[in-house]
Structure 1
Amino acid sequence: MINATTIKITPEILKLIAEIDEFKGAWRALGTLAPERLSALRHVATIESIGSSTRIEGSRLTDREVERLLSNLEIRSFTTRDEQEVAGYAEVMELVFRAWGDIALTENHIRQLHRDLLAYSDKDGWHRGAYKTNPNNVAAFDEHGNQIGIVFETASPFDTPKRMTELISWFNQELEDQQWHPLLAIGLFVVVFLEIHPFQDGNGRLSRVLTTLLLLRAGYTYVPYSSLESVIEQSKEGYYLALRQTQGTIRSEAPDWQPWLKFFLRALQHQARRLAAKVEREKLLLGALPEIALQILDHVRQHGRITVSEAVTITGISRNTLKVHFRTLVEKGHLVLHGSGRGAWYGLA
């Protein structure tokens, strides 16, 4: 059972929670953009989330490569492990975004999400959706791939089912009793889940899926429009340091939750601030740019790039007229021109 009595509610933690909750309350007003604008924001955030979460675990695919892969998901055949992981993560995230209200936190649902997360991973077929059967302590490796030590010991395969049952029971009871703020309860759940490391592989990716699920179920409905995973990727060293500092004390009589909770809440704060800035930027663009320019920007957000010829096809406007719009978008800092001549294309600034 989680010993949450040692949580110290510092002024910083209170301030972080207050700011995140203020944004949660303001989202109804901030999220009044047209559906197609919100769709564009969500598309970009989803690409960032999938790319970042898989790269944290070692994938080498860029966001552009992720976007290209997702545009062809119907092929359902992926040659590399990186592609397999991206495809599985994308489908699970879409499921969570679509049906989070129906996915209660239960062991069955967690195992199903794990099974779907690894649906395309060839080497993971033997353990999809099943708790680990072999130890999976988190190890450190040198530059040659040789193990040089254990960062921390995870739960044993024997103890894992019992500890997962206890963790899920604790979390659901905490939400019902409302003893702790939901963000604190979610933060504790995530760090203990990762300390247990219940599955043979895929625990990091699944923990970030579960974070999104639990935030949505707690009423933080803005999370699909801003990537928490990309925030974590940009602070990866701090992420692992905070995990190690807290996880090393979890089984002691006085767990130190502070390192992880501070990192977790700061990441959520940064996620909310990024989204607020994006929404305000969208509103400014909406009032300051003509419809043709907005069409161009929407296409770039969804596909990563655009050429003048593609814009002609999309808008039905002449090349000369479009060149004026492209010049304006570059001058205002919205787009950047890459290349020249026939190979020229535009990307987001």
Structure 2
Amino acid sequence: MINTDTLEITPEILSLIAGIDEFKGAWRALGTLAPERLSALRRVATIESIGSSTRIEGSRLSDRDVQRLLANLEIRLFETRDEQEVAGYAEVMETVFESWRDIAVTENHIKQLHRDLLRHSSKDERHRGAYKTSMNSVAAFDETGAQIGIVFETASPFDTPRLMEELLDWFNRTTEEKSLHPLLAIGIFIVVFSEIHPFQDGNGRLSRVLTTLLLLRSGYAYVLFSSLESVIEQSKEGYYLALRQTQGTIRTDQPEWEPWLLFFLKALRQQMVRLRTRVEREKLMMGEMSELAARIIELVQEHGRLSIGDAVKLTGANRNTLKQHFRALVSEGHLKLHGQGRGAWYSRA
């Protein structure tokens, strides 16, 4: 059974949830871009998600490679395993984006998503959409590809059906009863799913697909327009460390949920910040503001504070030109000046 009695809702966890939920509530106002601009944001997020999620598992395809591949999905012939994985991930993501309201969190739906995820992979033909039949413990490898040890033991093939049934029962009951905040329930579902590792292959990719599905079903509609997978890729070491710290305790009397939940919630916050920054830049670009001014706003949003020297390094623009833009942005109420002279810096107003 899933034991959440040891789950402590710390002030940090509460603060992260509050910030994410505030953005969720404000998304309707933030998302008042023209339909074509929202579509563009969604296309970029989709490419980033597919590229990042497959690279986390070892793919070598860049986002540009992914974009080219997606433009030719109708060819249905993919020469390399990387291409096969990207094609499968793209099709499953499209299914989730279009039909998330109809995809209940059931064993059959999860198996169907797994089957579709590996649709183009000839290597995985025998175990598409079926639980594992042999152990698939997560191993560590050296630079030559030789196995140097087991990172953690996953569930046995014998125990997998029972553990998956328990997980699904727990999640659906918790969701129906609203006994736990949705973000916490989703986080726990994902880390336990990953600990079970129910399929022979594709568990990491599927866990990230399921994360998007569960967030959409819980009302976090903005996740269509910003890539959580991209955030995770940029924090890959922290991602695996947090997973392992919690996974190793799940079957004990004292599960430690906090390491994974903190990582998960911080990743969701970063996803939210990226989207807010992009939406604000889009709105600025639609007005009379120049592209350079919009870029300054974006950099201040990303870094929290920015000096003219920082802006020179990050944009390559002329220092005097930047000074004029900063003065204009302050006078228009977009930025706030702190200090003076060489120590001056700017924040959002």
Q: How does the TM-score come out when normalised to structure 1?
A: 0.83
Count the aligned residue pairs: 295
Q: After the TM superposition, list the runs of 4 or more consecutive aligned residues in structure 1 that deviate by more than 2 angstroms.
A: 330-333
Partners of 2:62 and 2:288 in 1: CA distance = 32
Question: 3-state DSSP class of the match of 1:222?
Answer: helix
Spell out, residue by residue over 1:24-81, the C-alpha distance to the aligned partner (whole angstroms, 9 max, x if none): 0000000110100000000000000000000000000000000000000000000000
Q: Match of 1:107?
A: 107
Q: Match of 1:256?
A: 256
Partners of 2:263 and 2:202 in 1: CA distance = 22
Partners of 1:120 and 1:266 in 2: CA distance = 33
Partners of 2:44 and 2:86 in 1: CA distance = 15
Q: Match of 2:82?
A: 82
What letter is aligned with 1:82? D
Q: Match of 1:219?
A: 219
What letter is aligned with 2:60? R
Partners of 1:45 and 1:142 in 2: CA distance = 33
Q: Match of 1:338?
A: none
Question: 3-state DSSP class of the match of 1:148?
Answer: strand
Equivalent runs, 1:218-237 vs 2, <5 Å: 218-237=218-237
Equivalent runs, 1:1-349 vs 2, <5 Å: 1-288=1-288
Partners of 1:30 and 1:114 in 2: CA distance = 34
What letter is aligned with 1:250? I
Partners of 1:275 and 1:289 in 2: CA distance = 19
Partners of 1:116 and 1:276 in 2: CA distance = 32
Partners of 2:240 and 2:68 in 1: CA distance = 30
Partners of 2:188 and 2:287 in 1: CA distance = 43
Question: 3-state DSSP class of the match of 2:148?
Answer: strand
Question: 3-state DSSP class of the match of 1:279?
Answer: helix
Partners of 2:10 and 2:86 in 1: CA distance = 38
Partners of 1:45 and 1:252 in 2: CA distance = 38
Partners of 1:234 and 1:214 in 2: CA distance = 22
What letter is aligned with 2:193? F
What letter is aligned with 1:45? A
What letter is aligned with 1:168? L
Partners of 2:261 and 2:122 in 1: CA distance = 35
Partners of 2:231 and 2:270 in 1: CA distance = 7
Question: 3-state DSSP class of the match of 1:149?
Answer: strand
Displacement of 1:143 after TM fit? 1.0
Partners of 2:232 and 2:88 in 1: CA distance = 20
Displacement of 1:288 after TM fit? 2.1
Displacement of 1:110 after TM fit? 0.1
What letter is aligned with 2:135? P
RMSD over aligned CA atoms reads 1.4
What letter is aligned with 2:232? I
Question: 3-state DSSP class of the match of 1:4?
Answer: coil
Question: 3-state DSSP class of the match of 1:125?
Answer: helix
Partners of 2:52 and 2:288 in 1: CA distance = 32
Q: Unaligned regions of 5+ residues in structure 2, if any?
A: 292-316, 323-349
Spell out, residue by residue over 1:302-334, the C-alpha distance to the aligned partner (whole angstroms, 9 max, x if none): xxxxxxxxxxxxxxxxxxxxxxxxxxxx9999x
What letter is aligned with 1:15? S
What letter is aligned with 1:284? L
Q: Match of 2:343?
A: none
Q: Match of 1:298?
A: none
Q: Match of 1:342?
A: none
Displacement of 1:146 after TM fit? 1.1
Q: Unaligned regions of 5+ residues in structure 1, if any?
A: 294-329, 334-349
Partners of 1:5 and 1:56 in 2: CA distance = 32
Displacement of 1:144 after TM fit? 1.2
Partners of 2:143 and 2:130 in 1: CA distance = 32
Q: Match of 1:316?
A: none
Partners of 2:3 and 2:288 in 1: CA distance = 53
Q: Match of 2:332?
A: none
Partners of 1:237 and 1:93 in 2: CA distance = 24
Q: Match of 1:318?
A: none
What letter is aligned with 2:128? R
Q: Match of 1:302?
A: none
Partners of 1:177 and 1:40 in 2: CA distance = 37
Partners of 1:167 and 1:125 in 2: CA distance = 26
Partners of 1:286 and 1:124 in 2: CA distance = 47
Question: 3-state DSSP class of the match of 1:6?
Answer: coil
Displacement of 1:269 after TM fit? 0.4
Partners of 2:218 and 2:46 in 1: CA distance = 20
Partners of 1:48 and 1:211 in 2: CA distance = 16
Sequence identity percentage:
76
